[in-house]
Amino acid sequence: MTEVDKSSPSSVFSRFLSVVERVGNALPHPATLFALFAALVVVLSGVFSLFDLEVTNPATGEVVRPVNLLSVPGLHRILTEMINNFTGFAPLGTVLVAMLGIGVAEGSGLIGAALRQLVLAAPRHLLTFVIVFAGVMSNTAAEIGYVLLVPLAAIIFLAVGRHPIAGLAAAFAGVSGGYSANLLLGTIDPLLAGLSEEAAHIIDPTYPVSAAANYYFMVVSTFFIAGAGTWVTERIVEPRLGKYQGDAEGEELRSLTPEEKRGLRYALVTTLVLVAIVVWSLLPPGSIPGAGFLRDPETASILHSPFMGSIVAFIFILGGAAGVAYGIGAKTLRNDTDVMKGMGKAMETLGLYMVLVFFAAQFGAYFRWTNLGLIFAIEGAGLLQRSGLGPIPLMIAFVLLSATINLSMGSASAKWAIMAPVFIPMFMLLGYSPELVQAAYRIGDSTTNIISPMMSYFALIVAFVERYDKKAGIGTVVATMLPYTLVFLAVWLTLFVIWVFLEIPLGPGSPMYIDVR
């Protein structure tokens, strides 16, 4: 056996990933982390209150001092407001409502059938692009992309004579690397927006962050990421893998049954009807009878309207209605009990999320009550202001920071719940909107998902790869996916820099800069 040169770049990088994996495995559960952070905030509030620490809020001119929770009044507040902290946590209701609708669509089989039809109908020369694109689109339905599309893509590639791991990698790149790109809003959008809004309230208690805060940027990113993923697969990954020499044999791809096709037609008609109603509701009042009923009643604006405030409700209605329509057509839903079971199954998957939210809500509340978040934000904003960096270098640095943290902490919401209360107020004081900071975070969070052993589905991907390469392991997956990370990061950062330079809105009613003074 040839001795490995431990000084070579590949060996150094492998050792770095091993260190990251060990550190990440040593971390407690995210819910435990939030409980520890909450306790730490309480202790720090008592320590800082012993000193004459004070800062001046540049937005209001008010002198801000730490509030001591390590006291009898602090204990009273912690105990009496514990329930309200949990039930009033902004992301909780939005995620639960959105998941009810997605649960019906997933439980009826609509999402799985739609993905299969999209991939199977793709022309041979567009197969890679369609698989990456389908992976990006699958993000609207939580884990469906990981458990359905990733193994399906490997089967499809093998069936057409291509390397199955290349197909698996293309799908994984779209599902996980393209996590922050989509043509539709999914459950992650209201979740992150809720966390951003909670953090923004440290500076401005009335600042709203819509679930569609980054929608325009997400839509454009979808095509850039799908194109970049296609290029990496066909120019780098597949040539490196070479001809498949494994034992797995290609399977005949199962087409959709007549019942599934009928279900898709029913779902399509239902979706078109609902879209037509929404378009009618947003047309200028008086253009046709009854038009504009979801615009702002006073100004007839769309940006600040009941429609923009009910994005999550529309996700629920569309997912539920289309799922029921598919279930009736495909005969996968026999009665209303099956519909409710689909919703119930979606709620079952949120058990650990509810535990996480409970402790995250306490941590966020304590951070606000103690003024520590505001103090750190003001001091950090002053430091960044003195650095003389403009918005583009600052945002690039923040993207890279998010990407690095993602290597050791996989949950997008858990990381953002920790980072948002510090960075959003900090950047708001410099004039940058929460929507802009959130977009930068999402780029960093997505691009390193596919090489992070801490990502919750990484072990599943390793198991899928082992079906086609018995010697494969974490290193195999990381080596295969690293080109996607590097190219996605380069492409997404370039797009983001252009977006910021041209000051294009990130989403409906989502400014890039704000004035908090």
> Is residue 99 predicted with pLDDT exceeding 70?
yes
Task: Give yes or no for residue 303 having a pLDDT over 70.
Answer: no
Residue 4 has what pLDDT?
41
What is the predicted pLDDT for the residue at 33? Answer: 76
Distant-in-sequence, close-in-space partners of 74: CB < 8 Å, separation ≥ 6: 42, 45, 67, 68
| Top-confidence residue, 38 or 312 | 38
Where does the pLDDT of residue 27 fall: very low under 50, low under 70, confident under 90, or very high at 90 and above?
Answer: low
- Tell me how many domains the chain contains: 1
Q: Which residue reads 């898709």 in tokens?
A: 264
Which residues make beta-bridge pairs with 507? 510
Rg (CA), the chain: 24
Q: Establish if 168 belongs to a structural domain.
A: yes
Q: Measure CA of the first residue to CA of the last residue in the chain; give whole Å.
A: 67
Residue bearing the bigger pLDDT, 52 or 399? 399
252 domain residue, yes or no = yes
Q: Is residue 309 part of a domain?
A: yes
Q: pTM of this prediction?
A: 0.68
Q: Model confidence over 215-257: pLDDT tens digits?
A: 999 999 999 999 999 999 999 889 888 888 877 765 556 778 8
Q: What is the pLDDT of residue 388?
A: 73
Four-point Cα dihedral 89, 91, 92, 93, nearest 10: 110
Query: Is position 14 within any domain?
Result: no
Q: Is residue 472 part of a domain?
A: yes
Question: What pLDDT band is residue 12 in, cutting at 50, 70 and 90?
Answer: low
Q: Mean pLDDT score of the chain, rounded to an integer? A: 82
In a domain, 514, yes or no: no
Look at residue 190 in the predicted model and tell me its pLDDT. Answer: 82
pLDDT tens digits, 485-513: 999 999 999 999 999 999 999 998 888 89
Q: List, in order, residues 6 or more apart from 57 with CB less than 8 Å away.
A: 63, 64, 374, 378
Per residue in 358-406, pLDDT (tens digit) is 887 888 788 788 888 777 767 766 676 677 777 888 888 889 888 887 7
CA 245 to chain CA mean position, Å: 36
Q: Which domain holds residue 391?
A: 23-502
Q: Dig out the tokens for 498 from the structure.
A: 């252009």
Supply the pLDDT for residue 214.
Answer: 93
C-alpha–C-alpha distance, residues 330 and 349, integer Å: 25
Distance between CA atoms of residues 452 and 446, nearest Å: 10
User: Does pLDDT of 110 surpass 80?
Assistant: yes
Mean pLDDT over 246-274 rounds to 84
pLDDT band for position 21 (cuts 50, 70, 90): very low
Q: What number is the average pLDDT over the span 293-308? A: 77
Given pLDDT bands bounded at 50, 70 and 90, which one contains residue 138? confident
- In angstroms, the CA 390 to CA 452 distance is 30
The answer to whether residue 464 sits within a structural domain is yes
- Mean pLDDT, residues 418-440: 88
Supply the pLDDT for residue 348: 78
> Is 509 contained in some domain?
no
